[in-house]
Amino acid sequence: MKKTGILNSDLAKIADDLGHTDTVCIGDLGLPVPKGVEKIDLALTRGEPGFQQVLDVYLEHVVVEKVFLAEEIKSENPEQLSAILGKLPPTTAVVFITHEELKARTAQCKAVVRSGEATAYSNIILQSGVTI
């Protein structure tokens, strides 16, 4: 049995299999998941686990070179945006797109990870980088 790291076997497998520029989405409890995209559902109850908790674990184990966020997060959930930006290394590119475009881009993601987050626009697409 695994003692440390990502203990959810589905999420660990996705993280282990990522290549450069592959993408994974971490979303709130309402984000739709397109057919054909793996859904890793971590939601237990409304708010648990929170988006930030899932993001923390992901960032601890995966190199991220670029993220995509909904433009709407700037006005509708600035606290969440501030927390996200505070966790990203300064070399991480941040791209703002419309929420509709973000939802469309999930179709190319390796997986969508569903958190229990219940605040608006708490969704992010993370593009994998390379280790040096």
Taking the C-alpha atoms of residue 102 and residue 125, their distance in angstroms, rounded to an integer, is: 8
- Count Cβ neighbours within 10 Å for each residue of 5-15 and write b for 16 or more, e otherwise: ebeeeebeebb
Tell me whether residue 20 is one of the annotated catalytic residues: yes
CB 25 within 8 A of CB 132: no
Q: Which amino acid is at 52?
A: Q
Residue 61 assigned to a binding site? no
58 is known to lie in a ligand binding site? no
77 annotated binding-site participant: no
- Of these residues, 5, 7, 13, 20, which one is catalytic? 20
Annotated binding site: 28, 99, 121-123
What are the catalytic residues?
20
Annotated binding site for substrate: 28, 99, 121-123
